Amino acid sequence: MRIALFGQAAFGKDVLDALLAAGEEVVGVSTPKAGARPDPLLTAAEAAGIPTIEPPALRQRANLEAFAAWQPDLLVFAFVTDIVRQPVLDLAPLGAIQYHPSLLPRHRGRSSMNWPIIAGETKTGLTVFWVDAGVDTGPILLQHEIPITPDDTLGTIYFGQLYKMGVDALVEATAMVREGRAPRVPQDESLATYEAPIGPEHARIDFMRPARVVYNHIRGCDPAPGASAMLRGTSTRLFDCGLIEGNAPQAPGTVVSVNEGKASIALIGGTLIVGRVQQDGAKVAAGDVLAVGDVLEGC
């Protein structure tokens, strides 16, 4: 089975390495070439002698014909941000499969790992699905579920679990397609949710919400984009946080103590322990920026 891999960055490279290690035949790679540094997937493909084409270039007839010459049976999508047009999809008789880091049909969209944590959900996972004309709407090939613990962050969920699981799942799904045992389970549209890509406007902290809600919000934005509040007119993002539940002695948003570089901030029904903050430059210890009596306000 001839595979064309679409992807980028470290995740795309690791998927390529894993497919090759599993003995799969990767006949071409579509990955970005522009940028200050070569994309890791591009570098790995070139080192392996695999031809490459940039995703946007496939909109040009000559490049589409070059892609067709690869004669791919299956397209494997690993971290794809460019829209792949239907003429490209039509060139693979077995179709295209894609990794998505949520339990579809829940949390369709680009920020599918942030929103379950922000919502206080207790589980998430990954889906490999068959690509169709919609956004994360195609039939499900396989899914794997993981718990979200009360203190997990976006970083611990992705880098600690879903990254490696995603690489393995794409290898597993590719083998299932090759062996003719890959299901196509329609998604239940009655359960579908879609959230917008999370940006700075979604990361603003509201200190008038309950402590657990604020904490979920912060950990769902850690490390990106970083939940933010205003401190003396300067946007300040909070990272490496913990929560102690129970009544706080001062108004929400007030720094009540600083100890060993960490700052304690009063919330409604709890105290937020902040490890690091970021204003204009690098992240630093919270105690280097916050002082007792400071009041953080929602942006």
For the stretch 73-105, pLDDT in tens is 999 999 998 889 999 999 999 999 999 999 999
Q: Which of 160, 191, 222 is where one domain is finished?
A: 191
Average pLDDT over residues 160-174: 98
- Strands (DSSP E) contained in 46-189 are 52-53, 74-78, 96-100, 123-130, 140-147
Q: What is the mean pLDDT of residues 58-70?
A: 94
Domain of 149 in residue numbering reads as: 2-191
Q: Does 132 share its domain with 255?
A: no
Last residue of a domain, one of 172, 191, 210: 191
Q: What pLDDT sits at residue 298?
A: 83
* Helical packing angle, 9-21 and 40-47, nearest 10°: 30
CA 64/CA 86 separation, integer angstroms: 11
Q: Do 224 and 82 belong together in one domain? A: no
Provide the pLDDT confidence category of residue 249 given band limits of 50, 70 and 90. Answer: confident
Last residue of a domain, one of 191, 216, 250: 191
Query: 75 near 24, Cβ under 8 Å?
Result: no
Question: pLDDT (tens digit, 9 = 90+) per residue, 189-200?
Answer: 999 999 999 998
For residue range 228-245, what is the model confidence (pLDDT) as tens digits? 999 999 999 999 999 999
In this prediction, residue 38 has a pLDDT band, given cuts at 50, 70 and 90, of confident
Q: Are residues 164 and 65 both part of a single domain?
A: yes
Q: How high is the mean pLDDT of the chain?
A: 96
pLDDT band per the 50, 70, 90 thresholds, residue 144: very high
Highest mean pLDDT among 59-63, 197-201, 260-264: 260-264
Q: Residue 208: its pLDDT value, please?
A: 95
Residues 144, 251, single domain; the answer is no
Radius of gyration, CA atoms only, the chain: 22
- Give residue 265's pLDDT: 98
Q: Is 68's pLDDT higher than 80?
A: yes
Check whether residue 205 and residue 176 sit in a common domain.
Answer: no
Judged on CB neighbours under 10 Å (0-12, 13-18, 19+), 168 is: middle
Instruction: Name the band, by pLDDT with cuts 50, 70 and 90, for residue 127.
Output: very high
The model's confidence at residue 21, banded by pLDDT at 50, 70 and 90, is very high
pLDDT score recorded for residue 37: 82
In the predicted model, is pLDDT for residue 36 greater than 80?
no
Please tell me whether residues 106 and 211 are part of one structural domain: no
CATH classification at residue 53: 3.40.50.170
Give the pLDDT mean for 279-288: 94
Q: How many domains does the chain have?
A: 2
Same domain for 267 and 119: no
**44 and 175 part of one domain:** yes
Whether residue 121 is found in the same domain as residue 266: no
Q: Are residues 84 and 218 in the same domain?
A: no
CB atoms under 10 Å from CB of 36, counted, come to 4
Contacts of 140 by beta carbon, 8 Å cutoff, 6+ apart: 104, 127, 128, 129, 130, 183, 184, 185, 186, 187
Q: Which residues contact 107 (CB under 8 A, 6 or more apart)?
A: 115, 116, 124, 193, 194, 195
- The residues, ordered by sequence, that sit 6+ positions from 263 with a Cβ below 8 Å of its Cβ are 255, 257, 273, 274, 277, 286, 287, 290
